[in-house]
Structure 1
Amino acid sequence: MTLAPANRSSSASLSWLWPLALAAAAAAGCQPPSSDEDLRVQLQDLRHQNAKLTAEAQKLREALAERDRQVQTLQGLGEARLELLFHVTSIQLGRYTAAADFDGKPGDDGVRVYLSPLDTHNHPLKAAGSVKIQLFDLSRTENNLLAEHFFPVEKISQHWFGAFLSYHYRFDCRWTAGPPKQDEVTVRAVFTDYLTGKQFTTQKVCKVKLPPATQPAG
């Protein structure tokens, strides 16, 4: 009886893996294995890649399931859920909103604005949104916009002040087209609420101390 070489069975045991490895290498854009050891390395890499893809697929399934649960929860709350949240229903210019002297020279340079978003109970609310402040001299028949200042939502928190019985945003708004001709200026504030997308507007008339050169005739 003639015995086969001892290593033939070992090589034969891996021979069935060669077509699989060749196909996998071609699909992955890799070079075909040149030895049994290369074959083992590539198969191990493929197993790792498969495990990674399986884990990522599981995470996606879990994320989709969580999203579906959130959608079902929101649908269960109904369209009236916003009414149960604290949200802005109006805005108010505070009583301390007034013309101000920012440079220490005679005459006011603009207006210090105190703005409070209010909820359904007229309580101040630190709400996220953008603010536009406009200053008008309504004694002019044309070109009566003295200044327009915009404060984006990303920076509005820097203007929030909260203290005992005082909760508001504060904005220092200088004239950009010169002081008013008369001793009054109209302040108009527009708040765009980022929760509801609604805009709220209010305005107030403030007295102004004019520089000596622009004092109206007595």
Structure 2
Amino acid sequence: MNIKYRISNTDCRTTNFASRHFKFPAVLLCSCALAVFVAGCETPDSQKKTLSEQIETLKQDKSRLTRQIEQSKSKNKDLQQQINTLHNLTGEIELEKLYDVQRLKITKHSNLHDKDKDKEGKKETLIIYIQPIDQDGDIVKAAGSVDVQLLDLNKEQPQLLGRWHVGPVELRKLWFNALMMTNYRLTFDVSGKVQTFEEPLTVNVTFTDYLTGRVLKEQKVIKPP
């Protein structure tokens, strides 16, 4: 009798143990199934949002490409008009007939200046005014580059005090047009290069015309005031 009772209790504990251990996998399986179900429910909305964003991006790309095509058509139309105009011109077109820089002039206002107006009165700035002049004697804003040298020729051995180069992009910005003066205005710092300005100095200017390739040179003596 006791033996049968113990066997019965053992079976009961075994059944309870199995029941408790089988509950966890079942709960885990249900949780996974629920997660898959929820994810499956959210996927269409997410995909719909992604597709909407892609459609909007494609619309923007289409608008941008359409604008570029219109701009290209407009440029092509202008170029075709220029080609037709040049084709209808009679005679040969020569650069010399457009303009021809014949000479270069350094104006009288070119000199050393005391820009900071200090007590010492030291001239620390060199200002050069140059004018490209064409075949008709007119001052023209010719595109090109400029090389400038400042020399001291008072000594037995000529001394180069300074050398500068101004490219075409920078030179274009230095065009100066006033009521009584039209020229390129070049400014250079000579502090540390010119100690005293008691004797005349010499300025050499070389202008290279980028349209014709002509190289023009001019020299001027600047004197102390």
Give the C-alpha shift of residue 111 in structure 1.
2.2
Say yes or no: does 1:85 pair with 2:118.
no
Contact 1:91 / 1:200 at 8 angstroms: preserved in 2? yes
Structure with greater Cα Rg: 2
Which residue identity does 1:119 align to in structure 2? Answer: D
Distance 1:95 1:135 in 2: 16
Give the C-alpha shift of residue 158 in structure 1.
1.7
Which residue identity does 2:113 align to in structure 1? Answer: A
Match of 1:122 in 2: 137
Give the C-alpha shift of residue 74 in structure 1.
9.8
Which of 155, 167, 185 is matched with 1:170 structurally? 185
Contact 1:113 / 1:171 at 8 angstroms: preserved in 2? yes
- Higher fraction of helix: 2
Structure 2: gaps of 5 or more residues:
1-68
Give the C-alpha shift of residue 107 in structure 1.
2.4
Contact 1:192 / 1:199 at 8 angstroms: preserved in 2? yes
Which residue identity does 1:103 align to in structure 2? Answer: D
What secondary structure does 2:96 align onto?
Answer: helix
Which of 100, 118, 123 is matched with 2:113 structurally? 100
Contact 1:130 / 1:193 at 8 angstroms: preserved in 2? yes
Structure 1: gaps of 5 or more residues:
1-54, 210-218
Matched residue count = 148
Aligned identity (percent) is 28
Distance 2:212 2:130 in 1: 19
Counterpart mapping for 1:22-171 below 5 A: 73=87, 77-78=91-92, 81-104=94-117, 105-142=120-157, 144-171=159-186
Say yes or no: does 1:179 pair with 2:192.
no
Distance 1:152 1:115 in 2: 15
* Pairwise CA RMSD: 3.2
What secondary structure does 1:123 align onto?
Answer: coil
Match of 2:209 in 1: 193
Which residue identity does 1:82 align to in structure 2? Answer: L
What secondary structure does 2:173 align onto?
Answer: helix
Which residue identity does 2:128 align to in structure 1? Answer: V
Distance 2:135 2:180 in 1: 18
TM-score normalised by the chain length of structure 2: 0.56
TM-score normalised by the chain length of structure 1: 0.57
Match of 2:219 in 1: 203
Match of 1:17 in 2: none
